Amino acid sequence: MGQTSQRMTDGSKEPVEDNLLAWLGKSNYRRWVKLYDFIDTNYPGVFVPEWLFGGKKHGWGLRFKKTKSFCTLIPERNRLVVLIVFGKKEREEVETIIHVLSPSVRELYEKATTYHDGKWLALPVERDAVLNDIKKLLQVKRSPVLKEKWS
């Protein structure tokens, strides 16, 4: 999933907004904010976002988790990646909506590796259209508390 240099690998300090904007670039930072706002609006008080450092290989990621992982936003150089892990029941539900996802997201989902703890889907968010697919996939993970207006 890209070279080590593409990730934020300085473990001595958590990323802050200015770092993210410079690292992601304007378009990807805007997508980051949209995803963050979507989660915050639809799942108020459910998740406390937590920065995790995965070492020099994986760098920083912003994880949203309650009792189980919801998703992780991973800032890469000029790119945003969203990691979603689907358990068995969630994979069955994704199969019921897979036909409404864009072909590129469908292909990435089908090629994603399934481990003992679930299917790990890493989605590069390179176009705004991918945001809508992520929204649908996150709703498979957990039903929204509130319905949000996706802007």
For 60, other C-beta atoms within 10 Å of its C-beta total 23
Query: Helix (H) and strand (E) counts for the chain?
Result: 6, 6
Identify residue 41 by its one-letter amino acid code: T
Domain range list for the chain? 4-140
What are the residues whose beta carbons fall under 8 Å from the beta carbon of 141, sequence distance 6 or more? 70, 71, 84, 86, 90
pLDDT one-digit tens code per residue, 64-101? 999 889 999 999 999 999 999 999 999 999 999 999 99
What are the residues whose beta carbons fall under 8 Å from the beta carbon of 92, sequence distance 6 or more? none
What CATH number labels 4-140? 3.90.1150
Structure confidence at residue 114 as a pLDDT band (50, 70, 90): very high
Q: Closest Cα partner for 98 from 108, 87, 106, 110?
A: 106
pLDDT given at position 8: 86
What are the residues whose beta carbons fall under 8 Å from the beta carbon of 100, sequence distance 6 or more? 136
> pTM, whole model, 2 decimals?
0.89
E strand intervals along 54-109: 60-65, 69-76, 79-86
